[in-house]
Structure 1
């Protein structure tokens, strides 16, 4: 019964995946854009996705959050002409929107902390307005059908039909490989069902399981995926994973993120072995004029709207990564 249910679920998602594909014409414009042309380029898009990977790893977000954020980002960039100076705001808004539908409410990172850790130069109001724009343009309501959707289904179907060596087909490893592929805009043109199956077949070949490859073949026939299309993307996946395994490749999730704090806080951190206790803020003493979110509606002017100051904390040195959890605990 589980196998029948999974195959039905697979078919439903396969029929819906076209609704969540980015416009190919828009992707082509990004790929062909020149570095000095004042447009979003393939390189800037890929670097932005690597930053999203770093942030999701830093905040402990799931692979689902990262993949959903990339889906929103690619679809928005392929639809709208975005200026390079606004790209960081668009990407963080996509991550914030994605996390709302994939993470538990208690695990969500506040918008101001997301901006601070991302070391971005815009305000909470800017982020909120951008989220509304992205949600309206993409008609965002719930999770998109992505390559991760199919990868998880393929993995479950394979384990349902396999009686041995289940531990060798690691979903965690497959998810990591998918994230590596999504850091390249070329894979944004692949159908999610095909990209996921190409990843699955690549892993099955590496563990030398003919039985599992037979299951992958039946999945391909069930979805009527052409051999030529699957072969083309399988070759690209193999090249990408080979490059990613190279010691010269910088892994995005290993990037060091730092928290910006004020000079006084930094001095306290350096002068104490442990983080000193901070005084309790009395109720009724909050000055709204000091809030970074209390400024004018800079987005409405359209000129340098996302280049607002980070506030006084931006003047201080970086918060060491290894002290972050101690600081939060305090």
Structure 2
């Protein structure tokens, strides 16, 4: 695609991004909630997104699937007031919906397998009903515009103007850094176009490319992004990536995500499914009279996220190692 068409597409996406942003008032409520309240807290949400990152890597899903799942999750959480015990079902529903949109049909894992690997305690029927709820509440009909949309366009524009620097501007590294940012709910309040440009500028500064920095400035002027807004989010992105690179930061670690079992046990795991301990969602649980900012206790109680069930550092048996995450971390910390 030539530069003119890229800039035109960029402008169209910029004008449409506002329709796919989570409600800021809802995000603020989540950030102000504490973990002992009967509603989702920022920490609870962030842990769930890290679980989605792990599952995305395990199933070999693309970055687009992960980013779309997080977008659906944040928009739903900012719109509906749900309890922590429902979060696992909501997040896995968002992942399953995203995969069905972005992945090849033959690569989309089944509901039963997603629930089993996700160590969730609800049924495939629960997951299906939750997908319908999320789809209806968000009016989900097409792929939303996300930070990844802009990141890919920015990368193409930069390379189309500076062909000699292909080796130094890595889209793969940019995608890995975007995933790290999305693990913090604070970045859900950033405009996708601004968040993506912040990531691009930081990498350009790192590779010390004056011509590409001018291209980034041209993109900023084309979209009329204010200097103060870009500076604010660039500083936050830089701090996030610095924190993420530190050894004190807890991040998805797939070297701990292994089952060590005998062949017979492995065969039994594939041959049988554990029966969920809890009932499915009642038929009348989500009535038409529901308010837009609340929901009834319609699901099985006692659901746990992957991380919370294993402890804060994700110790213990999990699921098999997937090699893509190791590659992502290498690009992120490079």
* TM-score range for the pair, normalised by the shorter chain length: 0.7 to 0.9
Taking a change above 3 Å as real, the CA distance of residues 296 and 55 of structure 1, as seen in their structure-2 partners, is closer
Residues 320 and 181 of structure 1, relative CA distance in 2, 3 Å threshold:
closer
Are the equivalent residues in 2 in contact too, given 1:76–1:138 (CA < 8 A)? Answer: yes
Q: Are 2:315 and 1:321 equivalent residues in the alignment?
A: no
**Which residue is equivalent to 1:225?**
225
Return closer, same or farther for 1:278/1:299 CA change in 2, 3 Å cut-off: closer
2:142 matched residue in structure 1: 142
Quote the residue 2:196 is aligned against: 196
Contact 1:299 1:306 in 2 (8 A): no
**2:214 match:** 214
The answer for the alignment partner of 2:2 in structure 1 is: 2
Greater relative contact order (CA < 8 Å, ≥ 6 in sequence): 2
- In the aligned structure 1, how far is the partner of 2:80 from the partner of 2:161? 44
Q: Quick one: distance in 1 between partners of 2:186 and 2:275?
A: 41
Q: Tell me the equivalent position of 1:326.
A: none
Q: Do 1:126 and 1:299's aligned partners in 2 also have CA atoms closer than 8 Å?
A: no
Residue 22 of structure 1 deviates from its aligned partner by 0.4
TM (norm. structure 2) is 0.82
The equivalent of 1:15 in structure 2 is 15
8 Å CA contact 1:58–1:257 kept in 2: the answer is no
Hey, what does 1:61 align to over in structure 2? 61
Asked if 2 retains the 8 angstrom alpha-carbon contact of 1:298 and 1:306, the reply is no
Unaligned runs of 5+ in 2: 286-295, 304-315, 323-334
- Counterpart position of 2:43: 43
- Taking a change above 3 Å as real, the CA distance of residues 250 and 130 of structure 1, as seen in their structure-2 partners, is same
2:122–2:300 Cα contact (<8 Å) kept: yes
Q: How many Å apart are 1:142 and its aligned residue?
A: 1.3
What are the ranges of 5 or more consecutive residues in structure 1 without an aligned counterpart? Answer: 261-265, 282-289, 310-316, 324-330
Kept in 2, the 8 Å contact 1:123–1:308? The answer is no
CA RMSD of aligned residues (A): 3.0
CA shift, 1:318, in A, is 5.5
1:305 equivalenced with 2:304 (yes/no): no
C-alpha deviation, 1:259, in angstroms: 6.5
